[in-house]
Amino acid sequence: MTSLTHGPAPRCYALVPCAGTGSRSGADRPKQYVPLAGRALVAHTLDALARVPRLSATLVVLAPDDELFDAAVPQAAGDARVWTARRGGATRAATVAAGLEELLARGAAPDDWVLVHDAARCLIRPEWVLSLIEACEADEVGGLLALPVADTLKQEEQGRVAATIDRQAKWAAQTPQMFRIGLLRRALAATGEGVTDEASAVEALGLRPRLVPGALENFKLTWPADFGLAERLLQTMAPASDSSLARGAAVATAGGAR
């Protein structure tokens, strides 16, 4: 039963920065629009997020001059849980910061959670998103999907190894990264555009985000060779079992999108 003295339970929103150019990808267009297994890369990303019932809505932040999204993801126009905003900035951090303002303008509360997920991680699975939500929703700070580094790490100087770096306790950060909207907004305002992920901004406030084990498959498509690999994985992916997500559905349905 809802208490009379407390507000409604915090909701979860996804925020997908989708305003990059993909300069390292070698593609003939922004990488999020490269076709993979018959659909644009970002369409796969949004499909997976759409199968997470705990998400009240997903905000896709596009470049101000984006002319590709509507044709690349036609189903978004008819989906009340997908919102778009042409407010992307010069850096990922600027795009995310603008997206947070948009969420607040659309009725999200500072205490609500936001899960920032790269458009470019199109192999995300609904069950991994749910595992992040379940690990973080009772957490003071929030957290992120990440993977312990498996390889021996080398420090390069002019094409040669200058040092071998201790990999003990090193993790590679992935997305989604889940924080309260108000906290992340404050963190990004303090750090500016230099940070490459949300956790870095939150860490700069002296906080310690929770590391939640992710999956190797949830890699970020960055280099030309990544596209063929992602396409092969998409083609062989078993359909996710939506029943495993049902335990999250009741919470989202009770609130709906604001």
Residues near ligand CTP, by CB under 6 A: 17-25, 31-32, 61, 88-92, 95, 118-120, 220, 222
174 binds, among ligand LQXTBERG, ligand CTP, none (CB under 5 to 8 A by kind): ligand LQXTBERG
Residue 191 or 252 with smaller CB distance to ligand LQXTBERG: 191
Tell me 163's DSSP state.
E
Q: How far is the CB of 90 from ligand LQXTBERG (least distance, A)?
A: 12
Does residue 118 bind ligand LQXTBERG (CB under 6 A)?
yes
Please work out the total of residues on this chain that contact ligand LQXTBERG, with binding judged by CB under 6 A. 8
Q: How far is CA 103 from the centre of its chain?
A: 15
54 binds, among ligand LQXTBERG, ligand CTP, none (CB under 5 to 8 A by kind): none
Other beta carbons within 10 angstroms of residue 244's beta carbon come to 11
Instruction: Round to whole Å and give the CA distance between 237 and 254.
Output: 31
Question: Site residues for ligand LQXTBERG, window 88-107 (CB under 6 A)?
Answer: 92
185 binds, among ligand LQXTBERG, ligand CTP, none (CB under 5 to 8 A by kind): none
84 binds, among ligand CTP, ligand LQXTBERG, none (CB under 5 to 8 A by kind): none
Question: Site residues for ligand LQXTBERG, window 58-87 (CB under 6 A)?
Answer: none
Q: What angle do CA 81, 131, 223 make, to 5 degrees?
A: 75
Q: How far is CA 232 from CA 38, 225, 226, 240, in A?
A: 12, 12, 10, 17
Q: What share of the chain is helix, strand, coil (3-state, %, to 5)?
A: 35, 25, 40
Instruction: Round to whole Å and give the CA distance between 74 and 51.
Output: 17
Q: How far is the CB of 221 from ligand CTP (least distance, A)?
A: 7
Does residue 45 bind ligand LQXTBERG (CB under 6 A)?
no
Q: How far is the CB of 48 from ligand CTP (least distance, A)?
A: 14
Q: How far is the CB of 61 from ligand CTP (least distance, A)?
A: 6
Q: What angle do CA 94, 35, 227 make, to 5 degrees?
A: 80
DSSP for 73-123, please give it. -GGGGG-TTEEEE----SSHHHHHHHHHHHHHHTT--TTSEEEE--TT-TT
Residue 182 and residue 110 in contact, taking contact as beta carbons nearer than 8 Å: yes
DSSP for 199-223, please give it. HHHHHTTT--PEEEE--TTSPPP-S
Residue 62 or 183 with smaller CB distance to ligand CTP: 62
Instruction: Round to whole Å and give the CA distance between 230 and 134.
Output: 27
Give the residue at shortest CB distance from ligand CTP. Answer: 20
Residue 25 or 191 with smaller CB distance to ligand CTP: 25
Residue 32 or 177 with smaller CB distance to ligand CTP: 32
Question: Site residues for ligand LQXTBERG, window 158-217 (CB under 6 A)?
Answer: 173-175, 196-197
